[in-house]
């Protein structure tokens, strides 16, 4: 295990893409040009030629995750909510470019916040769609990923229990997030509020779960715990393994 984890590749192109927009669009542009180092999901989130963030298509049909997540929720969530974050992120960045030209930074707080909120939303949703797969298609944790989960959480069941508790207890709108902490190269579970709060810097998200009400309310109403439980059936562990490998140098 140690030999797998000793190859330290501190935040490079892949890490920059993963920890995202705080580092500017360069990381995502590199990802778009094929330097994503296994963090392929983000390659579709930015159009390097146009110089704009874009809404990547869902990698499956709207109804592909049923019965865990219903088709109508997926359609509205992807086509309306996620698209909105992309549009507002681009708009905020354009206004910042104008501000640099004019030297008028009167709106800097609102614009910085808009980049953080909408950029966080864009990154997390892009990772979310691709860390899910139709039931039975996502595999199970195995190999180096399984070893890492056992090392850092004790067992897969213990990891799932902590993640479910964290996601279920997010106050208001937010995310359950499992990520690789870059200093220790260990997996940790954190909560995200809104799209950007409670961030732990240096943690590259490898498995994320949207627990905003828009992600589950049509089917589950107030029963967030039932949604979280059903969601485990559609986790794409193969994609999670790829992301961990990209950051841990596996
Ligand atoms: Mn959402």
What is the rounded (10 degree) CA torsion for 173, 29, 25, 171? Answer: 10
- Show pLDDT as tens, one digit a residue, over the chain (250 residues): 343 443 333 333 333 344 343 333 343 333 333 434 457 889 899 999 999 999 999 999 999 999 999 999 999 999 999 999 999 999 999 999 999 999 999 999 999 999 999 999 999 999 999 999 999 999 999 999 999 999 999 999 999 999 999 999 999 999 999 999 999 999 999 999 999 999 899 999 999 999 999 999 999 999 999 999 999 999 999 999 999 988 777 6
Class (C level, CATH) for 13-130: mainly alpha
User: Residue 210: in which H helix or E strand, if any?
Assistant: strand 203-210
**How far does residue 7's CA lie from ligand 1's centre (Å)?**
34
Domain 143-248 - what CATH class?
Answer: alpha beta
Tokens of 7: 């190859």
pTM for this predicted structure: 0.85
Centroid of ligand 1 to alpha carbon of 9 (angstroms): 31
Taking a C-beta distance cutoff of 8 angstroms, is the pair 69, 219 a contact?
A: yes
Give distance in angstroms: CA of 157 to centre of ligand 1.
Answer: 26
Tell me the C-alpha distance between 154 and 82, whole Å: 35
State the distance from the centre of ligand 1 to the C-alpha of 173, rounded, in angstroms: 9
Give domain limits for the chain.
13-130, 143-248
Q: How far is the CA of 120 from the centre of ligand 1 (A)?
A: 11
């Amino acid at each position: 295990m140690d030999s797998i984890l000793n190859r330290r590749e501190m935040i490079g192109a892949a890490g920059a893409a993963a920890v995202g927009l705080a580092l500017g669009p360069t990381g995502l542009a590199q990802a778009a040009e094929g330097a994503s180092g296994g963090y392929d999901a983000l390659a579709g989130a930015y159009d390097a030629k146009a110089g704009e963030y874009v809404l990547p298509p869902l990698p499956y049909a709207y109804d592909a995750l049923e019965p865990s997540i219903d088709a109508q929720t997926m359609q509205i969530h992807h086509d309306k909510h996620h698209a909105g974050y992309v549009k507002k992120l681009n708009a905020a960045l354009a206004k910042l470019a104008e501000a640099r030209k004019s030297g008028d930074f009167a709106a800097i707080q609102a614009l910085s916040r808009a980049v953080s909120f909408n950029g966080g939303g864009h990154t997390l949703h892009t990772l979310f769609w691709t860390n899910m797969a139709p039931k039975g298609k996502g595999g199970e944790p195995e190999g180096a990923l399984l070893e890492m989960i056992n090392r850092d959480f004790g067992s897969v069941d213990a990891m799932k229990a902590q993640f479910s508790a964290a996601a279920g207890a997010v106050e208001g709108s937010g995310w359950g997030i499992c990520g690789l902490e870059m200093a220790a190269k260990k997996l940790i579970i954190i909560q995200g509020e809104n799209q950007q709060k409670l961030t732990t810097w240096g943690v590259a998200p490898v498995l994320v779960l949207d627990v905003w009400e828009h992600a589950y309310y049509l089917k589950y109403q107030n029963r967030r715990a039932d949604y979280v439980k059903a969601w485990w059936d559609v986790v794409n562990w193969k994609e999670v393994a790829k992301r961990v490998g990209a950051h841990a140098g596996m």
